[in-house]
Amino acid sequence: MPVLNVAVLATESLLRSLGKISDSRDVESYVYKEGEGAERRILSMIRPLKHPESLRPLLSTLNVSESGIIEVGEINAAIGEAMVAYSSSKIENGHIIINPKDGDWIDPEKLALIRNQAGLESWKIHDSMPDPHDIRSELLSRVRIEPPEEDEFLVSIDQHFVVRGIGLVGIGYVRSGIIRKHESVEIYPGGHVGVVRSLQVMDDDVDFAVTGDRVGVALRGVQDNILDKGSQIVSVGSKLLTRMEKSEIKVDISVFQRNVLKVGDVVHMSCDLQFIVGRVESVSEDSMIVVWDRPVDVRTTSKKPPLLVQLDAGPMRIIGAITDIRPV
């Protein structure tokens, strides 16, 4: 289905004015649908919970989103970190909405300066709360109604459970390509081979799901315990993922980041709903080598780069976007 995933850092009241809540876990999902049949367009607005206390829900949201909304109640370190995270995730279109607490005032020019420094120059700043219809209309204009690309498919999983009479079901996002009913697939980690029993998108049974869809994948021919948060599903024989125990990475260091990584530092990589722990083994002038705490299966090329973060780096935990990654 033609869908635009939107990463939204905002109050619940703003989200409720834009769509209908459909799911709640470590993130909340709000959906708005317009049109029918081939002309239907969908906004899937994803709100990470517990930010800034917890960073992973925001990063997972950014992994799968193409546009964004940030509601600013005050200018603080958390807002700066969020803007850097959006920018590092290559989310080039979005809205920044000024909505100060009662009696407070936010300087639009100061906010614009921070926006520009963070790399979100193309985002629009609203000096006051806009009409929800105007926000939805602008976002809907970005929904692509066109034949899906026939790239190799990748589905990244963030929920899983067993349904009596059906078996193992994974829920996640189609990150690339098209996954089809009855297709043979491989599940990583582990390289388990199974078959797609059925697919659901927006609670509808479908024969296929395309890039951007939040999809439920029922599997047969596999054990019930092979899925976990961050599991990846690809076609049998796919070369899309590369297994790594140790990686050489190059990082585009984010603005506002003053910490310099050194040997022994613990870092995390966020990509395709995975959140992977690693330790810096060596640092050179333009790259570093990281040893992961378990073997990882990642894409070496992607339109949306993995993010490297350091959870104990203070108010700016985003180290930057990984521009190159290869096994060592």
**pLDDT band (50, 70, 90) for residue 266:** very high
CA-CA distances (angstroms) from residue 210 to 89, 191, 240, 285, 305? 21, 22, 16, 40, 20
Distance CA 318, CA 305 (A): 13
Name the superfamily (CATH) of residues 241-327: Translation factors (2.40.30.10)
How many Cβ atoms are within 10 Å of 179's Cβ, its own excluded? 24
pLDDT of residue 150: 67
Token digits of residue 286: 């333009």
For residue 234, which of 186, 200, 189, 163 has the smallest C-alpha distance?
186
38 has a pLDDT exceeding 80? no
List, for residues 196-241, the tens digit of each pLDDT value: 999 999 889 999 999 999 999 999 999 999 999 999 999 999 999 9
Distance CA 312, CA 322 (A): 19
190 contact partners, CB below 8 Å, separation of at least 6: 226
217 phi-psi bin (left φ>0, alpha ψ -120 to 50, beta other): beta
Distance CA 288, CA 258 (A): 17
List, for residues 244-256, the tens digit of each pLDDT value: 999 999 999 999 9
Distance CA 198, CA 182 (A): 7
For 55, the 3-state DSSP assignment is coil
Which CATH number is associated with domain 154-235? 2.40.30.10
Query: Half-sphere exposure of 260 toward its Cβ, with a 13 Å CA cutoff?
Result: 5
**pLDDT band (50, 70, 90) for residue 101:** confident
293 contact partners, CB below 8 Å, separation of at least 6: 276, 277, 278, 279
- State the span(s) of the chain assigned CATH 2.40.30.10: 154-235, 241-327
* Residue 87: burial class (beta carbons within 10 Å; 0-12, 13-18, 19+): buried
pLDDT of residue 144: 83
Are the CB atoms for 91 and 7 separated by under 8 Å?
yes
- 100, 104, 105, 111 alpha-carbon torsion, rounded to 10°: -50
58 has a pLDDT exceeding 80? yes
pLDDT of residue 148: 65
CATH top class, domain 3-140: alpha beta
pLDDT of residue 36: 85
145 has a pLDDT exceeding 80? no
Average of pLDDT values for 22-34?
A: 92
pLDDT of residue 149: 66
pLDDT of residue 314: 86
Distance CA 7, CA 300 (A): 24
For 254, phi then psi, to 5°, come to -75, 155
303 has a pLDDT exceeding 90? no
Are the CB atoms for 162 and 174 separated by under 8 Å?
no
Distance CA 23, CA 141 (A): 24
Place of tokens 């929800």: 132
3-9/41-48 β-pairing? parallel
* Length of the chain (residues): 328
Distance CA 166, CA 189 (A): 22
For 114, phi then psi, to 5°, come to -65, -45
pLDDT of residue 168: 96
Give the orientation angle of helix 108-118 with respect to helix 77-88, to 10 degrees.
40
- State the span(s) of the chain assigned CATH 3.40.50.300: 3-140
